[in-house]
Chains A and B, each alone.
Chain A
Amino acid sequence: MKTASVHAALAPLGALIIVLALWETVTRAFSISPIVLPPPSAIALEASRAVESLLSAALSTGRSALVGFGLSAAVGVLAAVVLSSSRVLERALYPYALFLQMVPIIAIAPLLVVWFGHGARAVAVASFIVSVFPVIANTLTGLRSVDPSLRDMFRLYGARRVATLWKLELPASLPHLFTGLRVASGLSVVGAIVGEWVAGVVEGDAGLGILVLASNRQGNTARVFAAVLAASALGLMLFGAVSLTGERMLRRWHPSASGS
């Protein structure tokens, strides 16, 4: 098992080293301007130089994304439960949930500023809007695909509505729910960064989105790269935490979690 996982990590690591080496040689060999494409070594140097502002920006963005993700998880599951409780309700409301998903966040972000002002609150709401739909859609699929025979069994044993929800529907939906949460975790960081572009504060509590804009304006492309990498790392961390929680919860019973 141990050696297998080491081998599994070797391939992407090798690919990374080759790509970085190629990138470094090409930018040096053709003396490409560092404003267009800085070599990896310059990005690493810039990252270590600006480590403090990168960390504080990542912390700020991470906080907003976490709040947005938490809202998505809570509101998304609740909305799915409400929608699944009646066919009429689902038919009446689901198109609007879909509509919300289609609204370009960049276009309505100015409205968020009007409603919530500049700052973390508007950024978190942007993160929420971008990431809530996958939670609703996946949880709804899970709630809808509960085995009808199990429903029959609960009915036969006189289970009340709330008991059926807690003891059958929600647990049965967990695999779907976690699929939705995993997608939402990555999106919540994307939403937070877009939110910062429009509604973030420049002074004080600036996030990675602001850092990207400011570095870009200063022609510091290496720092743009560093900030982008930090944002990706943030998304990966959130994704990893959600995946790990899901695996732990489903370990004993679901085939998607066992034996991997």
Chain B
Amino acid sequence: MLDGMDLDVAAGSFVALVGPSGCGKSTLLRLVAGLDKPDAGTLTFSPPLDRTPGARSPIAYVFQDAHLLPWRSVLHNVALPLELAGVPAQERQASAHALLRQVGLGDATSRYPAELSGGMRMRVSLARALVTRPRLLLLDEPFAALDELTRNRLDDQLLALWKELGMTVLFVTHSLSEAAYLAERVLVLSRRPARVMLDRQLALPRERLPALRANPEFAREMGLLLQALERGEAP
């Protein structure tokens, strides 16, 4: 599904993967997360990741849907990864509280997923992913199902969290503008078997503000990405 892909991601960087649907972006994330085993090829982490079962996971994964446990309150959903790693109740709940405040859900901790809006559920999912302080955060079209305003707000929130926590981010999306707005570096993938059509370090200011979307530089980068995407779509 993935063909001759050679990808080197610097620690602490924010990389977006864009490509037509079904091109293998999710497969790539699953391989990186260790959820699937590659048929060939290797994955190297430097320094190596500690992935012994029962330890705090150094990798976090945010799925397209929030995937919360409906029988658990928001707080206990966020605390789950720490619970599975055997962190004592008091400590893990304090961490969960802190992260929920950071994503603006400090007063929704005792509510249940069924009582939340789609955007709030996604924020809970983001908080859950970050509660282990992962070195690598993988996001698989996390905000695709949300309306545009909510999505923009969550994009800004994600950027703020990235700046504050400093983890490496791999962000899969099919939205070019979202990729250009969020990432330092964008990889455009072709149709299956996926090849890298473009690997571009964006020439945009590091400080991303909503005004950036109206910037001519932003439009130029979008044009480049679109061209690469179209080349990748061609048979």
Contact = CB atoms under 8 A, between A and B. Distances in A.
A171 B113 CA distance: 15
Given A147-B67, A158-B85, A171-B69, A253 B112 contact: yes
Nearest to B55: A158
B80 A253 contact: no
Interface residues of B, number: 28
Contact of B61 (A153, A167, A168, A174): A153
A167 to B, nearest CB: 7
Contact of A254 (B33, B59, B70): B70
B142 to A, nearest CB: 13
Q: How large is the interface on A (under 10, 10 to 19, 20 to 34, 35 or more residues)?
A: 20 to 34
A158 B84 contact: yes
Nearest to B30: A152
Given A171-B71, A254-B70, A154 B35 contact: no
Contacts of B63: 149, 152-153
A80 B216 CA distance: 61
A252 interface: yes
Q: Which of B30, B33, B84 neighbours the largest number of chain A CB atoms within 10 Å of its CB?
A: B84
Contact of B70 (A153, A159, A253): A253
B71 A149 contact: no
B65 interface: yes
Nearest to A171: B71
B53 interface: yes
Contact of B52 (A147, A158, A250, A252): A158
Contacts of A171: 69, 71
Interface string B15-59: 000000000000000100111000000000000000111110101
Interface of A: 147, 149-150, 152-160, 163, 167-168, 171-172, 174, 250, 252-255, 258
